[in-house]
Structure 1
């Protein structure tokens, strides 16, 4: 059966299960005694194994099976979760993720997971897995103890047993090729070619295919049937050039049966999961889940089951982009029709256009919601990342996530992940102090990093706040001078806020030592440029001794917005409604000049008044000749500014169009739109005026 038709489904569902496994493992690490979480993890692992086996990805299925063996002991109260078990299972998840990534890139999902498998098997046997080099030691031991480093299936074992009964030699051969060998796959082929002239290779580890593709680390093992004795085979292989070491051990009936007993014991301890053939080819992810749910020995586990089938489907993002573009064109035509209907004054036409407006409005809401994705899809990978990072830095950190259900446009979601990773790593590494420093300053030994998302107007704010030492402006200035970003004279005139903004300068870093986490001066400048390219902004608030807050402001959607259209001379501009506080009219006598800046009174305070006609040098309008001026008051955070215009045209839904690469970045302009009469109106960016 052709499985290619199910490949995209397999990849999507595998990623979902891996994410679920990561989240559940984080929950289990916080509550190691909660068996219900283990049940959830076991079911996800079992489903993933069934899917992988159905699709023919044996390495992935095999590793998941080894994880199942460990989890089965835990859920049956035969094993207590410990730190080294968590670390091994997390490494297993990382290996599974890399295999799925390989499959996504068109590979076969193969990986060398010998060390991880050895650690998992050691856990099942009740041993504490050794650190580095464990795999090599297990391989060496296998030659003398029969410990099944190479797992044999029932057929392969029966072949070896029958060969012994017929008087043949059964050898376990371990070959190490010299590290300076340039073509190790060729040397391995020569060994196999030599052996096959005098006998038969029953099973090798790694597999022959992996060895041919050089997916092995200068060593391999195999079971071999021959008439020659072990010493002769050893001598023959050593005669080949660039062979470092050969161990050939003859197995007798007793050692072979002992090996079989160990394998059967491991199988008995393994999970009572149904065989992988249970999963249906037509729906690789569903059948294993059902069978896993049945095997919980009558216990009611917190699993989301029920008679109602799934009501969701996966849609390619490119199709949604096409849908959005088509609807954008429809919206432009709708505005044009509304304008024509108002000019013609035909009752039937007006009624039809109004109905079309209502229907297209509903359609617009649906199209917009189709593209909206909860930020949870980005946030859910951060707890695991923070956990690993805190462990590597020897810190204790709680990550508190709020507002994960907040929705953002899919195009923004796809791009925002990397900047948030940089900001979180920055908070964990630079923000939160070491345990000793926290205790010395009277804080708890566990630092807290808050990751929040919330709506505000037509924007989504994502905040990353830590309760660390805060930012010291003087330290930033000294580091910037040292790295040549600013001069000593420039530093003297910098305010604290301006000093903090230097964090986003290219090449800036306050790390004393370059590490895996930070110190190379690549990070916050990339964050700022990426967020700016998305039409957003990032602001830093810091209180020394209390902590730091990085606030990222992002547009809710990148395609269609509600805007107020205004006229200045012969030109038309659009101001996003989300930024407008109110509109009004002021008389020239109400305008005051304070320190050379024009100000007006607004709500018992004074705010700046900016003339758009002067700012954009509109040639055919002079506001000084008018007795009163129309204004639009816009807000960014707590700051307000009034923009002077000539006339209000009205509110409209507009489609944002990019200005294109051939136009330089224009200050105060975020894009353009096509109006119903075919004219182009520039979209004003109120944030630029307030800055």
Structure 2
């Protein structure tokens, strides 16, 4: 295949996959609102668009499935027939088949034959929606001329072809449904590796700028000061622009879940309402991609082993329909993603007993385990309290993989559960994996970086302001007892303990703590580097950074100090 043709195929794959994601959401919405004409139109257009591209590339099995759904929904939107369970099941099965064929095409192989049973189900559903709809004006399987090839390519990019008169372009269903005017911003698709390379170069530029800022202190030259200052401003703007190129709404990862929830719930004969929130929250595209599989596992787990069957929920005084919440929100320099259900919860005592029975902990250690420690047991490889293996998932089965994949993007996962009321998984991941604004502090002549988004204020204090309250050292400031953490003691190094010192107040979600440090060096944008394997995941550290003078500075995790 020529380079030009392969580029068009790549465009088709991207466009079709985006349509498939939207169709999944639309079909779930249609089940709740079967009479919604806009949804019927949207589903018809989606399959019709994929069918057109598939016919252009002669993907006959894909054309066959899309054509069957197109015929069915063309009659339904004309008011012939009702969207019953048979129609919906056939449409869902068709979407699954289309998604599978698109995966084959993306892998470079031809899509397999359309399942005969699926085509028969589509035809049967279509025949029930009588009378027959008018035949399509053109067949998608007809040979395509070079002129039509160029016109379809232009259509992929939402641009009119300069070589084809407007009157020559046929738009199906244009008289029945006039297109809505919409402002379309021009866009260009860029391969991921090019974005990653650009981000790496921007990071190196930030390091070079920081190095120049540290060197300028040795000289007293006004022109040099201005030049370095201008470079710093331009570097900051470039860094922000490149970071925005990599940012994506987390809703792209959430879009698959209405269909996942619906399919799993029906398979398990349960009733589940999915509530999505914060889909517009943006974070690094690599983090969005890394979260996809762990979230699928947690969602399927919640339906399978968290939410009870309808009759059990009724006996427990709950609504028959369970509630599953998937939300995202920004907390400083981190994104909080929550998967919460209102099911039966997790019994910490059962986890404790299972760990003791398996020999993972001895009786004495098991007795000392806190509730949070018991919950953390589910992340051990192969740990499970289930007596039978489920086809869907198992709370504890594969949870070690969930934690590992989240940790791979410098994230953390925590479990909160109320027995009989539900379980809440909280995932915290960094906003970006590239450049991070930080405050550089020093303790025992070692430099550390604190994420600037967590820093609320910095000040010095007098020894008389320090006191003890309920067994913890606090600082009396503006009538508030601010908990203190001596960074030197926490790091097990010699640090400031008496006399005047700096306090860096870090906070998140209403919690505040003061870190005692020896020096405050100031703000600096750093390039995040992962910690070496031996210390990766160590509590208190979120990564490492190369600072302006060339030294390596550990990045401190503010959440650890807030939880202390």
Alignment of 1:186-585 (within 5 A): 269=133, 271-276=135-140, 280-282=148-150, 284=152, 287=155, 294-300=172-178, 305-306=181-182, 308-519=183-394, 521-585=396-460
> Is the partner of 1:623 in helix, strand or coil?
coil
Residue in structure 2 matched with residue 159 of structure 1 by the alignment: none
Contact 1:471 1:548 in 2 (8 A): yes
Decide whether aligned partners of structure 1 residues 646 and 287 sit closer, same or farther in structure 2, where only a CA change above 3 A counts.
closer
> Whole-Å Cα distance in 2 between the matches of residues 480 and 287 of structure 1?
59
Decide whether aligned partners of structure 1 residues 111 and 286 sit closer, same or farther in structure 2, where only a CA change above 3 A counts.
farther
Q: Deviation string for 1:216-271 (max 9, x for gaps)?
A: xxxxxxxxxxxxxxxxxxxxxxxxxxxxxxxxxxxxxxxxxxxxxxxxx99x6575
Decide whether aligned partners of structure 1 residues 284 and 486 sit closer, same or farther in structure 2, where only a CA change above 3 A counts.
farther
- Shift in Å at residue 315 of structure 1? 1.6
Choose from 649, 666, 669 the match for 2:541. Answer: 669
> Whole-Å Cα distance in 2 between the matches of residues 338 and 462 of structure 1?
37
Choose from 11, 14, 30 the match for 1:12. Answer: 14
Contact 1:503 1:509 in 2 (8 A): yes
Q: Deviation string for 1:607-655 (max 9, x for gaps)?
A: 554333344455xx6535x522222233355554432221111111111
Residue in structure 2 matched with residue 623 of structure 1 by the alignment: 496
Contact 2:65 2:114 in 1 (8 A): no
> Whole-Å Cα distance in 1 between the matches of residues 170 and 275 of structure 2?
32
Decide whether aligned partners of structure 1 residues 477 and 663 sit closer, same or farther in structure 2, where only a CA change above 3 A counts.
closer
Task: Tell me which of the two structures has the higher relative contact order, counting C-alpha pairs closer than 8 angstroms and 6 or more residues apart.
Answer: 2
Residue in structure 1 matched with residue 554 of structure 2 by the alignment: 682
Residue in structure 2 matched with residue 642 of structure 1 by the alignment: 514
> Is the partner of 1:117 in helix, strand or coil?
helix
Q: CA RMSD in A?
A: 2.9
> Whole-Å Cα distance in 2 between the matches of residues 593 and 269 of structure 1?
81
> Whole-Å Cα distance in 1 between the matches of residues 139 and 441 of structure 2?
69
Confirm whether residue 27 of structure 1 aligns to residue 29 of structure 2: yes
- Shift in Å at residue 448 of structure 1? 1.3
> Whole-Å Cα distance in 1 between the matches of residues 92 and 326 of structure 2?
23
> Whole-Å Cα distance in 2 between the matches of residues 426 and 314 of structure 1?
36
After TM superposition, the score normalised by the length of structure 2 is 0.89
Decide whether aligned partners of structure 1 residues 376 and 528 sit closer, same or farther in structure 2, where only a CA change above 3 A counts.
same
Q: Which runs of 5+ in 1 are unaligned?
A: 128-264
Q: Deviation string for 1:76-102 (max 9, x for gaps)?
A: 222211112211111111111111111
Which one has the largest radius of gyration? 1
Decide whether aligned partners of structure 1 residues 343 and 28 sit closer, same or farther in structure 2, where only a CA change above 3 A counts.
same
- Shift in Å at residue 111 of structure 1? 3.2
> Whole-Å Cα distance in 1 between the matches of residues 82 and 137 of structure 2?
21
Contact 1:507 1:520 in 2 (8 A): no
Residue in structure 2 matched with residue 218 of structure 1 by the alignment: none
> Is the partner of 2:203 in helix, strand or coil?
helix
Decide whether aligned partners of structure 1 residues 622 and 558 sit closer, same or farther in structure 2, where only a CA change above 3 A counts.
closer
Q: Which runs of 5+ in 2 are unaligned?
A: 161-168
Q: Deviation string for 1:129-175 (max 9, x for gaps)?
A: xxxxxxxxxxxxxxxxxxxxxxxxxxxxxxxxxxxxxxxxxxxxxxx
> Whole-Å Cα distance in 2 between the matches of residues 367 and 469 of structure 1?
45
Decide whether aligned partners of structure 1 residues 544 and 271 sit closer, same or farther in structure 2, where only a CA change above 3 A counts.
farther
Alignment of 1:607-618 (within 5 A): 608-616=483-491, 618=493
Confirm whether residue 43 of structure 1 aligns to residue 45 of structure 2: yes
- Shift in Å at residue 340 of structure 1? 3.1
Confirm whether residue 79 of structure 1 aligns to residue 81 of structure 2: yes
> Whole-Å Cα distance in 2 between the matches of residues 622 and 87 of structure 1?
66
- Shift in Å at residue 484 of structure 1? 4.2
How many residues are matched? 547
Decide whether aligned partners of structure 1 residues 527 and 40 sit closer, same or farther in structure 2, where only a CA change above 3 A counts.
same
> Is the partner of 2:149 in helix, strand or coil?
coil
- Shift in Å at residue 384 of structure 1? 0.1
> Is the partner of 2:150 in helix, strand or coil?
coil
Contact 2:322 2:343 in 1 (8 A): yes
> Is the partner of 2:505 in helix, strand or coil?
strand
Decide whether aligned partners of structure 1 residues 36 and 309 sit closer, same or farther in structure 2, where only a CA change above 3 A counts.
closer
- Shift in Å at residue 69 of structure 1? 1.7
> Whole-Å Cα distance in 1 between the matches of residues 281 and 537 of structure 2?
31
Q: Deviation string for 1:427-457 (max 9, x for gaps)?
A: 2122211101111122221111111111111
